[in-house]
Amino acid sequence: MAQKITIVKVGGKILESPDTLDQLLNDFAKLEGLKLLVHGGGRSATKLAEKLDIETKMVDGRRITDDAMLEVVTMVYGGLVNKKVVALLQALGVNALGVTGADLNLLLSDRRPVKTIDYGWVGDVKAVNDNMLAHLLKSGIVPVIAPLTHDGKGNMLNTNADTMAGETAKGCAKHFDVTLVFCFEKEGVLANENDDNSVIPTIDKQQYEKLKEDKIVIGGMIPKLDNAFATIDAGVNEVIITKASNLGDLTRGTHVIK
């Protein structure tokens, strides 16, 4: 029987508050078995860019990463945020290793092609070094992955953290029994976006199509769920979408199932 692993993705908003970050990392440290953390950090990057007088350009919630912004996100994601999380986990007795996709060639990407919008130095993941990830995990190391990849030609690429978590989960599914947890600000996928008690406890593909059709699932939740079902199709056992403060009780939230 394959070893179990829990892959946790946490967004930038949770990382910014010392209280929510401390609770999340304490809960993460208590997770049994193998584990891996993927983090965002977009809000921190925007704040630093402002201090450096570098304009932040967004299109449909996605960051345009020009040369100057690439330097900012590399500093913030791969440095400031990543190493802060690693230091806090080490204080909790977790043998964390902070990496980007360039380290150990963990995640290789293509620069996103220009169609109607030039996103700049933004990467779409094309390969995961699953054997190296499995080696690290089996060695007792807990990878903490920043949302940066590389193109194999010496360039760093800004990469969506949800996508990185999903692709990492797919790679790990070749070696382990994977549970992927997306932590964010809501209790889960809600039947009524204004009612935190309206969590939909389980969603399969058929239900998902109906929820989209009925306009219950809209906006940013659609790519999150598309990503979740893609990982399920690739062999991930379960995907949980839940509030960050629920990481200590994974019976809560929305469970995406086959």
Distance CA 252, CA 250 (A): 5
Q: Which domain holds residue 206?
A: 4-256
Spans of the chain below 50 pLDDT: none
Q: What is the pTM assigned to this prediction?
A: 0.95
| pLDDT, tens only, 171-201 | 999 999 999 999 988 899 999 888 888 999 9
- Looking at residue 190, its pLDDT comes to 92
Summarize pLDDT for 228-253 with one digit per residue, the tens. Answer: 999 999 999 999 999 999 999 999 99
Residues 6+ apart with CB under 8 A from 227: 162, 163, 166
Domain CATH number, residue 127: 3.40.1160.10
Instruction: Report how far residue 162's alpha carbon sits from residue 193's, in angstroms, rounded to the nearest whole number.
Output: 21
pLDDT at 60 (0 to 100):
78
Domain total in the chain: 1
CA angle 219/18/5 to nearest 5° reads 65
